[in-house]
Amino acid sequence: MLGLKRITIKKNERGLLLRNGDFERVLQPGQHWVGTLGARMRIETFSMEQAAFTHGLADYFMAKEPEVVAQEFVQAALTDTQVGLRYENSVLVEVLAPATRKLYWKGLNDVRVDVIDIAATEKLDKELVAKLNQTQLRQRPVAGVAGVLMVQVPDYHVGVLTVDGKQQELLGAGAYGFWRYNRQVQFESVDLRSQALEISGQDILTKDKVGLRLNLSATWRYNDVRKAFANTAKPAELVYRELQFGLRAAVGTRTLDELLEDKASIDAIVKDFAAQKLLAAGITLEGLGVKDIILPGEMKTILAQVVEAEKSAQANVIRRREETAATRSLLNTAKLMEDNPIALRMKELETLERVAERIDKISVFGGLDNVLNGLVKLR
């Protein structure tokens, strides 16, 4: 028809009619006859599968076309202290940041925007936290969740929450969520159980300038988490540093001989040095022990020679002591036999018996008495 143009809008679409580049109206699904006489007409179509209306006219609609907005769109107009939760067909699909201004088509999807004021608190309610955790298992992820800090505190742990550099509270085991908008939110999970710490390869000079390498093992735990994090941002590093200083204080004030004679004293000195400082920082030092004292190669050789000389001298002393004892015993035996002929005779018979054990055959002439009398004569 002259001066008319037929336009078809599908059921899952909406159209914008622009006359000479200016908005005229929204076209609903169906057939439309549009007069084109003396004007340039353009139709822009939008699929309802994409609910968001991303177009240059969005701000114009919200400012100048309130009736069009009310009829065709769901509006999200958030302030600087508000966030929005956008639902499609009762399913959460997007978290809207503060100051967001958007339009969403009505029609194919039931779109809803819930507004939450975050000026008073940074914490999400438990229902919303559970909902956001559940959405992680869906094929379609929730958009905008980068603005939410989701945390999980395991059993035997506490969570340290810091907002804008100020420690807020300690969180027990469970799931939590916090708004990141308009604030700096930090979280750290702290293990309340005993923790092991290894301090390895500490090269330290003794009082007599001998270089040693020591390995130390310690166990510690938090007794006051707030105090621990009020004193330092990294409590575990504080424990390491204090034990390291204590180890140097214990080794550097003693000679090598003193350390080797009483290695247990190192443990006591290090613990006395560090325990009170750590306790004041909210940390209990439960126990520690030096596992290894490693000597330089040349010092090992020298000590081996010293030990060898000491053991050799001890062996010589023992040998001389035994020889003296044996000589004294022989002297006592000789004196006893000199005064007692019968004892001497018994000793002679014992000696004869031992000699006879080594002889296979003995021929005796003149009787056994002649043999004995011939071998040994008593005075």
Domains contained in the chain, CATH given: 121-191 (no CATH), 195-295 (3.30.479.30), 301-375 (no CATH)
Considering the entire predicted model, what is its pTM?
A: 0.67
- Tell me: the pLDDT tens digits for 298-345? 555 555 555 566 667 776 777 778 778 778 777 777 777 777 777 667
Q: What mean pLDDT is predicted for residues 339-367?
A: 68
Question: What per-residue confidence (pLDDT) applies to 94?
Answer: 92
% of the chain with per-residue pLDDT over 90? 41
37 CB-contact burial (10 Å; exposed 0-12 / middle 13-18 / buried 19+): exposed
Handedness of CA 136, 142, 146, 147 (dihedral sign): negative
Whether 219 contacts 287, CB under 8 Å: yes
Instruction: Kindly state the helix (H) or strand (E) to which residue 25 belongs, with its residue range.
Output: strand 22-27
Among residues 218, 220, 303, the alpha carbon closest in space to that of 267 is found at: 218
Among residues 128, 140, 51, 127, the alpha carbon closest in space to that of 83 is found at: 128
Q: Which residues contact 229 (CB under 8 A, 6 or more apart)?
A: 160, 167, 188, 235, 282
Distance from C-alpha of 328 to C-alpha of 375, rounded to nearest angstrom:
28
Q: What mean pLDDT is predicted for residues 115-126?
A: 92
